[in-house]
Structures are given as structure tokens and as C-alpha cells.
Amino acid sequence: MLSFQGLLCADRDPFKCDKDGKCAPGLRCDHGTCVLRTDCPMLSMPRMKSGCVMLTTVDERGCPMPKIVCSKENLKCGSIYCEPGFECDHDKTVCIPRRDCPNIALPKKEGCTDKMALDEYDCLVPVRNCKSPKPLRAKRQQTSTTEKPNNGWCIFLDHGKDGCGWV
């Protein structure tokens, strides 16, 4: 009976220092493990407009520094260009809504219509337009004022209630 034993090879652990004690930019070697350097600024991923990508360059101290590059070529999807708010799918064949934008869905509401609009980051967000249940020039309540004896006054409202006061 023959047995076959294979050796499983895995990629190098990204948190282990290489044999020279070096790590990726922004990390330092500490007892064989790559840890964050405290002298490098912490990077966060900003929201970007359509066609922009963030590239990381290494500064003179060896810290990663973000650089945002915007180009119409970043909107290219095969032979077409995606409109703002859209990006190329993984197969580079069709434009789809951007995956880095928040996915907001408004609940249905009677008398309202929703349409998609671009926000300041070129993300598609819903904008709701509702029809008012009352006409714009709604009838205002009729009021009249009459004098009461002893320097008093009353306001008679058209629905039968009144309010009186004294001067």
C-alpha cells in the first residue's frame, strides 16, 4: 500500500518579521512580531468621490502616507466610462452602484416618491418627495373681535368657541 504525504505550504505570516528583522512600512519588529509604530500617524480610509483611489506612499521616516489620486481613467469599465455614483463590477464588464457608499433604503410611505441623487461624495442616496395632504393655500380659521362691557374683549372663532380677557 502506497501512501502519499504532501507538504502544505502557506504564505508567510504578515505579522512575523522577516529574517532581517524588517516589517512593512508603518510597522516595527518586536520579538519577532511586526507591530504598529507609535511614531507614524494612524491612517483612516476617507470617503472619496467617483474616480478617486487612495495610494499609499512611504515617507522619509518609513511611515505610510496616503495620497488620493483622481482620474477619469479610474471610471473606465471595459470600453465605457461609469457615471458618478457607479463603479465597474469585478469582471470589468458593467457599471454598478459604488460598493464603498452607504446602502440606504427608505421605507415606503403613502403619497411619497423616492429618487436617487448624488451626495457630495458622488454616492447615490435616496431623496424623498412627498405630496402635502392639504392644499398649499389651506383655508385659515376666521376670527372676529367684539367689545365687552367693562373694557373686556372676546374673540369668537368660527367653530363656536371664544376667548375673553380684560384690559
Phi/psi of residue 95, each to 5°?
A: -90, 135
Region of 19 (left: φ > 0; alpha: ψ -120 to 50; beta: rest) is: alpha
Print pLDDT tens along the chain (167 aa): 434 343 444 456 668 898 888 888 888 899 899 998 888 887 777 778 888 888 888 999 889 888 889 988 888 888 899 999 999 888 888 999 998 888 888 899 888 999 999 999 899 999 999 987 666 565 555 444 444 444 445 554 444 444 554 44
Question: What are the residue ranges spanned by the domains of the chain?
Answer: 14-43
| pTM: predicted TM-score of the whole model, two decimal places | 0.50
Q: Maximum CA pair distance of the chain?
A: 121
